[in-house]
Structure 1
Amino acid sequence: MLIDLTDAKPFGRNEFRETMAWLRANDPVHWHTRVDGPGFWAVTRYDDALRVYRDAETFSSRFGMRLETNPAAVSAVTGRMLIVSDPPDHTQLKRVLSRGLGPDTVAAAGRLARDVVRDLLAEALAAGEVNMAEVARRLPTRVVCGLMGVPRDEWDWLGGTMNTAFEGEDEETRRASHAEIFLYFTELVARRRRNPGDDFVSRIALDRRTTADGERPLSDEEIVVNCNGVLAGGNETTRYSAAGAVLALVEHPDQWAALRAGGPAVLPTAVEEALRWTTPGVHVLRTAMAPARIGDRDIAAGDRVTIWNISANRDEAAFPHADRFDITRTPNKHVAFGDGRHLCLGARLARLELSIFLEELVDRVERVELTGEPEYTASNFTWGAKSLPVRLVARR
């Protein structure tokens, strides 16, 4: 079989799962050559994925966490941005950022998410026919913007700019949108320094991290790059899992019926299955810092190792009947949020948003009807439905 995991076109056509299944069965730790750059290992089985995730000392994040990483850009934020840092920098940054997303913040996020979902569904029901992918995109950006203290009238602009930064038509457009976001957060941090409030940005701006030279406040740059990371991470995971959950429930009407019949009791397992089924974060990259062994393969120091979450979450050895969408599945220890030290900072928030979305959807919608074919992002990094035309029929 011809294997090219760097080709985004099969992802845009939703035609990559056969390749992943072949790799799991025949070459689960696959050496992938490239004519336009260095090769890499592709890890596609669940147990091997956990092996890499849980050994942060051997498999480093500080050289980038995706295949198309720009080394210069990564080097500029290593040790300052959570996702491209190793301990002790990662430990200290995560401690500060986690305090910024503490229990009080998550409780506030739940109330905000409830209001946002109700508004979005009311608008969608009034319209009748909508792009559910666009409805879902607005949920996490509005919630995260609200937690950051971004003015309400700027929520959709910031979310749309973030979307363009990752999915713009060309590199120049994407680069310009990234620059706009960094400039926006730079100005927001400056305002919070002068006049702090009760929001995520203010809390981390007033907090302190430990370094080799002692304690100090986070720098403006550290706050800006991590705000960008929080917004981007929340946007990608929740939007694709929410839209993908709707599509899965349409395609599996027995599961829609089970969700309606089960009520709140079935929501926790439904959320986990939606995350496993969709797996918006397709792959992550690590760099081997020392010789290692994964499965029956010897990994050399300096080798790049990719974990294909989207394959690990369909591994029959870990998930019986893995190609069946089952909202009552348990256990369901998927890797949609990664694992180990780099388990996604916003996992709790994403689960909360998705739970509220499904609860309100069932409460307000009698049925969902597809009105066109779904379209998918042509990306081997973050993936999901970018267009999902549906008709919503309200419950009486």
Structure 2
Amino acid sequence: MATAAADVPFPGWSTARIDDRIVNPYLYAEPAQLMADYAELRRRPGLSWMTPRGYRPFWAVTRHADIVAVSKANDRFINRLRTYLSPIEGEQWTLSVSGDTHLFRTLVDLDDPEHRKLRQVTNAWFQPGAVRQNLEGKIRAIARAHVALMQEKGAELDFVNEVALFYPLRVIMMILGVPPEDEPLMLKLTQELFGAIDPDVVARSRNITEAAGLWGGSGNPQVDLFKIAATFFDYFGKMLVDRRANPQDDVASVIANAEIDGAPIPEREALSYYVIIATAGHDTTSSSTAGGFCELACNPAEFRKVRDHPALIPLFVEESIRWTTPVKHFMRTASDDTQIAGTTVRAGEALALFYWSGNRDEHVFDAPMTFRADRDPNPHIAFGHGVHICLGMHLARLEMRILWEELLPRIERLELAGEPKLSIANFVSGLKTLPVRVAWR
């Protein structure tokens, strides 16, 4: 799955300097060089000032302890000015079409107190006790249905495109209140939002929606992010109106009817709330699920260890999340002059928190480049840290645990049936194909 950077053709992308490589989305699909670069940056004293071609400069935060320190100091390192790495051209385009630095105003784009108030609206829904009590039975039924579909496929299947994409999608859409017939549209929009540069991901999303009768035309047209945002807002705008008039037992109704400071949530924030739940709520879980299954297919001893000792499944879930780290980075901007790791960061300067690097930190994890299904302790930061820690992390863990409880006991042997491939993206990414061969019990 990995080749040296010099062996991979990256039209239009420089690989000569570490500053350019660390933002290069193609290297996230072939990460051997990227992992070497992360290690080099972790060895350097302090933070590293990066000036990649075509991007505004930033401080690279690559060590686990430094990522945690920045994340905990949310008053000194804010989100709203720059949330993720985007080329200057992309930032200018976003500003021109939205009048803002963001297309959406989600929880990850906002700071306290606005962030805290919005988060509280759905916080109770996503607490561990609530997800277990209210959702475990429903999720288990969905998991069993997907295991049955796997068994119907027989000995060989693409686990990403036939299982991992759809299982967490069905769960989060059930919670949000999106009907099953609209799930292909949600999948299409999410895949193109996070994988816009990857032609395989875009083509896959178009194929799925064409099969569902939701996409006209053929081929692989250029992804229009503004059109994606507009489609999301149009769809969820109708849902917002409906749930205010006809509330149901779903998260969409909670958001639609919530008040902040005595007034309804502003429309853009409400619609963005729907978007972040619909997109991040399934894409990241899909990536962690597929990544963990891939490692079991590559390591028969690890597979037997987890299958034969179900008590290890929660540890396996955590290691899968650490290993894949679906959200590769988030950005922060210093609100005042401050210091991190002995480096002076000036007000207005940006920092990129590279979570994948932090989850490979040799000072925190023993043999970090080795997948250990029973790794314990496992203080990974794939869900982030501090006030912006992932709202849906308990749901993601529950979904993965239940799937493995239902699936692994039914498998006698598991192996790769082809080459797994990662998507081309430097923000949210994971496996885009995972051919496996399964001997069923």
TM-score (norm 2): 0.83
Which of 149, 168, 176 lines up with 2:177 in the alignment? 149
Work out the CA distance in 1 between the residues paired with 2:73 and 2:153. Answer: 49
Q: Residues 114 and 164 from structure 1, CA distance in 2 versus in 1: closer, same or farther, beyond 3 angstroms? A: same
CA spacing shift, 1:337–1:394, aligned 2, 3 Å: same
Q: Matches of 1:119 and 1:325 in 2, distance apart?
A: 29
Look up the SS of the partner of 1:51 in the other structure. helix
SS at match of 1:75: coil
3-state SS in 2 of match to 1:172: coil
Q: Does 2:17 correspond to 1:2?
A: yes
* Contact 1:100–1:204 under 8 Å retained in 2: no
C-alpha contact 1:8 1:380 (8 A) present in aligned 2: yes
Larger deviation: 114-123 or 68-77? 68-77
- Amino acid aligned to 2:361: D
Of 295, 313, 330, which residue of structure 2 is paired with 1:248?
295
Q: Give CA-to-partner distance per residue, 1:231-267, whole Å, 9 cap, x none.
A: 111222101100000111122222111101211x212
What percent of counterpart residues are identical?
Answer: 32
User: Residues 219-238 of structure 1, C-alpha deviation per residue, up to 9 Å, x if partnerless?
Assistant: 33222101101111122210
Contact 1:61 1:287 (C-alpha < 8 Å) held by counterparts: yes
Tell me the distance in 1 between the aligned counterparts of 2:353 and 2:229.
Answer: 26
Look up the SS of the partner of 1:392 in the other structure: strand
1:40 aligns with 2:58: yes
Deviations 1:342-377 (A, max 9, x none): 000111111111111222221222222211111111
Q: Distance in 2 between matches of 1:105 and 1:181?
A: 26
Q: For residue 30 of structure 2, what is the aligned residue in structure 1?
A: 13
Please give the alpha-carbon distance, in whole angstroms, between the structure 1 residues aligned to 2:104 and 2:413. Answer: 48
Structure 2 unaligned residues grouped into runs of 5+: 1-15, 200-220
1:126 pairs with 2:148: no
Q: Which of 118, 125, 134 is matched with 1:108 structurally?
A: 134
CA separation of 1:282/1:77 partners in 2, compared to 1, >3 Å: closer, same or farther? closer
Tell me the equivalent position of 1:197. Answer: 248
Relative to structure 1, the CA distance from residue 287 to residue 167 in structure 2 (aligned partners, 3 Å threshold; closer, same or farther) is same
Structure 2 counterpart of 1:274, one-letter code: S
Q: Provide the C-alpha distance between the structure 2 equivalents of 1:340 and 1:295, rounded to a whole number of angstroms.
A: 18
* Distance (Å, rounded) in 2 between the aligned partners of 1:146 and 1:38: 40
How many residues are matched?
390
1:52 aligns with 2:49: no
Cα pair 2:194 2:429 within 8 Å, conserved:
no
Q: Distance in 2 between matches of 1:64 and 1:113?
A: 35
Q: CA deviation at 1:28?
A: 5.7
Contact 2:176 2:278 in 1 (8 A): no
Q: Secondary structure at the match of 1:13?
A: coil
* Secondary structure of 1:349 counterpart: helix
Report what 2:214 is aligned to: none
Q: 1:324 to 1:74 in 2, by over 3 A?
A: farther
Q: Which amino acid aligns with 1:136?
A: A
1:164 to 180, 192, 209: 192
AA of the residue aligned to 1:117: A
What is the identity, as a one-letter code, of the residue corresponding to 2:29?
G
* One-letter code aligned to 2:30: R
Are 2:352 and 1:352 equivalent residues in the alignment?
no
Give 1:157 deviation, angstroms: 3.1
Q: CA 1:376–1:80 in 2, change beyond 3 Å: closer, same or farther?
A: closer
Whether 1:230 and 2:277 are equivalent positions in the alignment is yes
CA distance in 1, matches of 2:160, 2:246: 36
Q: Distance between the aligned counterparts of 2:307 and 2:55, measured in 1?
A: 50
| Mapped contact 1:101–1:200 kept (Cα < 8 A) | no
- Contact 2:82–2:350, Cα closer than 8 Å, also in 1: no
Range moving further from structure 2, 352-361 or 307-316: 352-361
2:408 counterpart of 1:381 = no
Q: Which residue type is aligned with residue 253 of structure 2?
A: S
Describe the SS at the equivalent of 1:197: coil
Q: How is 1:289-368 mapped onto 2 (pairs within 5 angstroms)? A: 289-368=335-414
Match of 2:166 among 138, 141, 146: 138
Q: State the distance in 1 between where 2:324 and 2:99 align.
A: 28
2:227 is the counterpart of 1:176? yes
What TM-score, normalized by structure 1, do the two folds share?
A: 0.92
- Indicate if the aligned counterparts of 1:136 and 1:239 stay in contact, CA closer than 8 A: yes
Residue type matched to 2:153 in 1? Answer: A
Q: Is the contact made by 1:371 and 1:389 (CA closer than 8 Å) also made in structure 2?
A: yes
